[in-house]
Homo-oligomer: A and B are copies of this chain.
């Protein structure tokens, strides 16, 4: 027999969003008249902003001319973009992050999925529960998670950090020491956030325990609360223990364009070994650089006009999130999120998450994401996103209200 990586076979079912897609298309086939409103997957819907379109066209023209054509990009990203990010996203916020600590990639999902490769095969992971499925699944594939228990929907070797209404979605420090701690702030899927003081608890814990925080800040652009940090490097001590993932998908609508970056400070060390250098080596060996065209589009996001345009898009989605949040609250549903995040997270009461999924699809023709798909503590919760159109969002809220 061909010798495969058996860990892949341990993965239960299929990827959450594939399952949802299949269920929805089966329903649509049976009910061709149903006008389904999709608020499940966290995908943007507004077209690319004019400044970004302009930058893409200009970059394409450069690629079509002999004197300005670009072949292989630098593995770690063009300096123009790395320097712009270091300045705009970090130094101007008072964070010490240098341009060469920024690694440009084709998106935060790849980086979040690949980062675990840098760590030992027996490194123990801790994840918030509920959580973006990529963190756990990528570690399942690497054999770090032990055995799956279908009854509890948990892995024997994963440390779960429950985040529920009971603890205000701020997890307790674990009893068992983890090597890797995945944190997502603002949180996908709950839409909740942690303040700088709350994050400090985790940074101190990581530094005291030789753990690494893998900090997913993909939704940073949606933060409105002043106490919520835009980067983990706003927290003292983070430079020695934290890796930060960022994305252009949600702030600038790049889900189909693909661009992101990861910050690894040079101070994250394991003895003499530099995690920064290991990631650089991985990029050099298994990656061939983000496309020039995309990196130029990324630059447009930081231009004065570009900033204005993408801020308007974020504001548009946030109006949707508020509409959802307020509408659902009006009918007595328990809701969090929607303030610093495009996601609202509601309690499904007696119904399980998947029961609520089927109920909402059937009665309101609205698609959301079952909370249990994000982990056992997501059971009895449900995620809706503000990424649709305002009109569709209002309609969805009306339909849900009419069920009450």
- Please list the residues of chain A having a beta carbon within 8 angstroms of any beta carbon in chain B: 1-6, 8-9, 11, 14-15, 18, 41, 43-48, 50, 52-53, 56-57, 60-61, 63-66, 68-73, 106-107, 109-110, 113-114, 117-123, 133-134, 137-138, 141, 143, 179, 210-212, 253, 255-258, 268-271, 273, 275, 278, 281-282, 284-294
Contact = CB atoms under 8 A, between A and B. Distances in A.
Copies of this chain, complex-wide, total: 2
A46 B258 CA distance: 25
A256 B292 contact: yes
Contact of A120 (B5, B41, B71): B5
Contacts of A270: 1-4
Nearest to A274: B4
A46 B70 CA distance: 9
B5 A121 contact: yes
6 contacts: A5-B118, A63-B257, A106-B258, A109-B286, A138-B286, A257-B293
A141 B282 contact: yes
* Prevailing SS type, chain A contact patch: loop
Nearest to A113: B286
Central interface residue in A11, A52, A268, A285, by most chain B CB within 10 Å: A285
A113 B278 CA distance: 15
Contacts of A72: 41, 43, 255-256
Contacts of A271: 1
A284 B18 contact: yes
Contact of A285 (B68, B141, B179, B285): B141
Closest 9 A-B residue pairs measured CB to CB?
A: A113-B286, A53-B64, A2-B270, A43-B71, A3-B120, A47-B69, A15-B284, A56-B60, A71-B255
